[in-house]
Amino acid sequence: MHPGETLRLTGSFAVHPSYGREFRASGCQYVEPATIHAIRTYLASGLVRGIGPKLADAIVDEFKLDTLQIIDTAPERLLEVHLIGPSRYREIVAAWQAHQEIRQLMVLLQSAGISATHAPRIVRHFRIDLQEAQEVTDVLEIVQATPYRLTEVYGIGFVTADRLALWLGLPERSPQRLQAAMLHSLENAGGHCFLWEKQLYRKTIKNLGEDESLADLLPAELASLVADQRVIAQDIPNGTGRLLPAVFTPRLHAAESSVASRVARLRATGTRLATLGARRNGPLEVLDGAVELAPAQKAAVRMALTEPVSVLTGGPGCGKSFTVRTIVDLVEAASGRVALAAPTGRAAKRLAELTGRSATTVHRLIKGRREDESTPVSLFEANDPLDADLIVIDEASMLDLPLLDRLLGKLAPGVHLLLVGDVHQLPSVGPGQVLRDLLAVDELPRTELVDIFRQSQDSAIVTNAREINHGRSIRNGADFWFIDVRRPEDGTLPEPQEIQDTVVDIVTRRLPERYGLNTCDIQVLAPGTKGPLGTHDLGLAIQAKVNPHRDNTPQHFADGRPYRRGDRVIAVRNDPRKGVVNGTTGKVTEIDAKERQLRMRTDDDGTEVVYAWDELDELFHAYAITVHRAQGSEYPMVVVPLTMSGPSYLLLRRNLLYTAVTRAKQMLVLVGDPNALERAISQPADRRNTSLAVRVREALTGTVVLPRPSRAVDGQASLY
C-alpha cells in the first residue's frame, strides 16, 4: 500500500483472546484514488520514479480529477506541465507503465485467489529476462500463456503456479499439468541430482494433491519428456549392486558427466609443480629437510604437491589449516603461484586470515576468465588466478555440482587442484554432495587428518564435535554449554515463546555482560526459519532489543520485516549484477525513502550494495540465521536453540548439529530440550541421490558401469 491508495476489505469481526476485537479480512480489492487530495498524496508518495511532492502538486493542479486517466491514456499531455521536460517525461512514462503492469498482474493474481504481493517480483524477474533477450513482450501475457513459469520466480512454488493454471482453465489431468509437476519435482529435489523413477511419481502425486490412481498416467508423460529431451532417464546403481531407473534434469546429468571427464583429464595432464620439484630448492626437498609436520600432515603436503587432483579432509583441531598454509609456503618459496578460494565470502575471508594470503570466492575466481572464452577478462591481465600452479578450494563440502563443474571447466592445463573440507558437515545448499562423492572414489588421492593436536584437546567444542560425529553424548566444558530449559520443579518444557525469551536474553544481556562482548560477536544459529525459535521470529525479537526503532529515524517494512539503519543483514540469493552471492553478510547503512531503496555495506570487503524496495525478498536479517547459511563461517560465540516443537525438529540431524557446533571459535551455547539434543545426535545424515562417484570411477579406470541414458519408459507405474 502507498499513501493515497484505498483498499475495499471484506471479512468479519471477531474477538481475539489477547488483543480483543479485531477484523479478519477474507478478501481485498484495490480502489483507484478518487479525490484530488488522494491523487495528490498518491503521486507524491514516491510510487512513480521522477514524481516528487512538488511535481505531484503541479500535475494535479493542471489536470485535477482527470490526472490518473491522462497519465494512463494520454501521457504526452504531461509535457503541458511547466516542470516537465522531455527527459523527465520519458522517466515518468516508463515508471508509470511498470507500475501499471504490476497493477494488472495484481488483479489477475487476486482473481485467482493468489496473494498480490508476488506481483512486483514476478514483473522484475521476467523484465530482466526480456531485457537480456531484447524481447518486447508483456509480462502479463507470459504469465497467462505459461503459468508454470512462475516457479522460476524466487519465493513462488508449484502450488501457487498450479492454482493460477487451474484458474485459467487448464484441465486437472492435462499432459501440460502432469509434465509441469514432474519437472518441478526434479528441479526442486532437495539437493538430489536425480530422483528414482518411483520416487518421482510419488513426489509428483504429492505436489498435485492427487491420489495414487494418477500413477497410471505418469509413465506416458515421463516417456514424452524423455522423447523431448526435457529429462534424461538412465539406470543407476542403488547401492546394493542393482540398477534401478532414475530420472535427471539434462543440466545435472550433463554436470555429473562433465565433472567426471574433467577430473580424469586433469589427472592425466602433466603438472607444473613437477617442474618446480625438479629444482634444487623445490618444494619436496624443502618438505623433506625442513618442515616440522605430523606424519599425516606431511603425507597431505606431498599429495598436494605431486597429485593433480587431491582431497584433504578432517575435523576441527586436526591441523587442516596449518597443513594448507605449509603447502602454500612451499609452493611460493619455489616461485610457484597459488590461488585460494572458498564457496562463500566469509569462508574466503577466514581462509585469507589463516594463510596470510589473499583469498576470494569460487564465483569470483571463475570470473577471472570470461564465461564464454578461455582468455583472461583483460588482455593486460598477466596474473589470471585460474592459471596458477596450485588452486586450493577450502570448505569444499559447500561446493555444489554445477559450481564444481564450472570451476573445473576454467582450469588451465597443468594446474593442481586441492579440495579441502570436512565431509561430516552439511552438504551444499545446491544439488550434489561432491566432497563425499569424490572421497568415495578409491582411485582419487585423499588424506584424512584424524589426530587432534594438543592445543585443541582442552577445547570442549572440538572434543564434543568429535563425539557428535560418532553419535555419542556430549559434556559441558569451559567453552561449551547446554542449557536445559525444562522447569526444575516438574521437568516440563516452557512454551516456545518463553524459550525464545530465554535465547534473546542470553544473546542480548547475559553473554555481553559476562564477557564484555558486543552482540555482533554472538551469532544465533537455528535449525529452521519458522516458529518462535525459527530465524524469522528470533531475528525480529533480537532486533527489537539491539536496534529498536527510534523516533524521526527512517525504517521500511517488507514482508513483515522492518529494515533500519544499523541492521545486520544477509543476502539469500546470488546476484551477479550486484556482485553478491548467497550468504553475503553486511550492515544497512542507509534507508532512502525517496529513491525507495536501502544500502548495505558488505562484511567481506566493505562494498556498498543497493537493494530496491521490491528486491528485499533477497535480503534477510542476520541476527539469527540457519545453520546452512552459516556454513563456512566462524563466530566468536554461537547460540543454538534446540526443541522438538514446530517443523524445525524434522531438521535435527547429526551433521546439522555438528556443523553448528564447529562454527564457534570461543564459546558454544545450546539452549533447549535434552530430547531434541539426543535426537540430533542420534539421527545420521540423509544421503543424496547422486551418481558422480560412479561416473568419476568410470572415467578414471575406463570400466563402464552405467548403461546409456534415455532409456525408453513404458508399462504401468508401481509406486512401491
Q: Are strands 309-314 and 446-449 parallel, antiparallel or unpaired?
A: parallel
- At residue 720 the predicted structure's pLDDT band, cuts being 50, 70 and 90, is very low
List pLDDT tens digits, range 163-201: 999 999 999 999 999 999 999 999 999 899 999 999 999
Task: Print burial letters for 345-383: b (CB count within 10 Å at least 16), e (below 16).
Answer: bbbbbbbbebbebebbbbbebbbbbeeeeeebeeeeeee
Whether residue 193 is annotated as binding a ligand: the answer is no
Handedness of CA 687, 688, 690, 692 (dihedral sign): negative
User: What average pLDDT does the segment 220-234 reach?
Assistant: 95
> Of 126-135, 319-328, 663-672, where does mean pLDDT reach its minimum?
126-135
Q: What is the pLDDT of residues 372-390, one digit of tens each?
A: 444 444 333 345 667 889 9
Contact assessment for residue 628 and residue 490, using Cβ atoms and an 8 Å cutoff: no
518: helix, strand or coil: coil
Determine the pLDDT at residue 654. 93
| pLDDT on residue 589 | 95
Q: What is the pLDDT of residues 32-55, one digit of tens each?
A: 677 888 888 878 876 677 788 888
Residues of the chain above pLDDT 70, percent = 88
C-alpha cell at 384: 589470471
The answer to whether the beta carbons of residues 517 and 508 sit under 8 Å apart is no
Residue 633 has what pLDDT?
Answer: 86
* Residues 428-466: tens digit of each pLDDT: 989 999 999 999 999 999 999 998 875 567 789 999 999
Backbone angles phi, psi at 256, to 5 degrees: -60, -45
pLDDT score recorded for residue 564: 95
Distant-in-sequence, close-in-space partners of 128: CB < 8 Å, separation ≥ 6: none
pLDDT higher than 70, residue 65: yes
Q: Cα-flanking dihedrals φ and ψ of residue 662, to 5°?
A: -80, 5
More confident call, 250 vs 121: 250
Contacts of 571 by beta carbon, 8 Å cutoff, 6+ apart: 580, 581, 582, 583, 584, 585, 586, 618, 619
Average pLDDT over residues 646-668: 87
> Would the pLDDT of 406 be above 80?
yes
- What pLDDT shows up at residue 130? 55
First-last CA distance in the chain = 50
What pLDDT, on a 0 to 100 scale, did the predictor assign at position 501?
94
pLDDT at 245: 94
| Cα separation, 319 vs 313, whole angstroms | 10
Look at residue 421 and tell me whether its pLDDT is greater than 50: yes
Q: What angle do CA 230, 231, 236 make, to 5 degrees?
A: 165
Q: Has residue 718 got a pLDDT over 50?
A: no
* Residue 239: pLDDT band with limits 50, 70, 90: confident
Lowest mean pLDDT among 1-10, 303-312, 568-577, 628-637: 1-10
Q: Is 459 one of the annotated binding-site residues?
A: no
- Is the model's pLDDT at 124 over the cut of 70? yes
Q: What is the pLDDT of residues 517-557, one digit of tens each?
A: 888 889 999 988 888 999 999 999 999 999 999 988 889 98
Q: Is the pLDDT of residue 613 over 80?
A: yes
Q: In the prediction, which pLDDT does 713 show?
A: 47
User: Between vectors from CA 543 to CA 541 and to CA 545, what angle results, nearest 5°?
Assistant: 75
318 labeled binding residue: yes
CA distance 398 to 713: 35
Mean pLDDT lowest among 470-479, 578-587, 670-679? 578-587
**pLDDT band per the 50, 70, 90 thresholds, residue 3:** low
- The grid coordinates listed for 216 are 497410471
Distance CA 529, CA 535 (A): 5
Q: Are 248 and 186 in contact (CB under 8 A)?
A: yes
Q: Which helix (H) or strand (E) holds 454?
A: helix 454-457
**Between the ranges 81-85, 503-507, 700-704, where is the mean pLDDT highest?**
503-507
Residues in the chain: 720
pLDDT of 581 reads: 77
CA–CA distance from 685 to each of 237, 427, 436, 688, 695 (Å)?
A: 20, 10, 12, 10, 23
Mean pLDDT score, 249-274: 91
Cell of 124: 522484475
Mean pLDDT in residue range 139-166: 90
Considering just the CA atoms, what is the radius of gyration of the chain in Å?
A: 29
Helix (H, G, I), strand (E, B) or coil at 111: helix
- Identify the CA nearest to 65 among candidates 35, 32, 30: 35
Confidence band, pLDDT 50/70/90 cuts, at residue 622? very high
Residue 317 annotated as part of some ligand binding site: yes
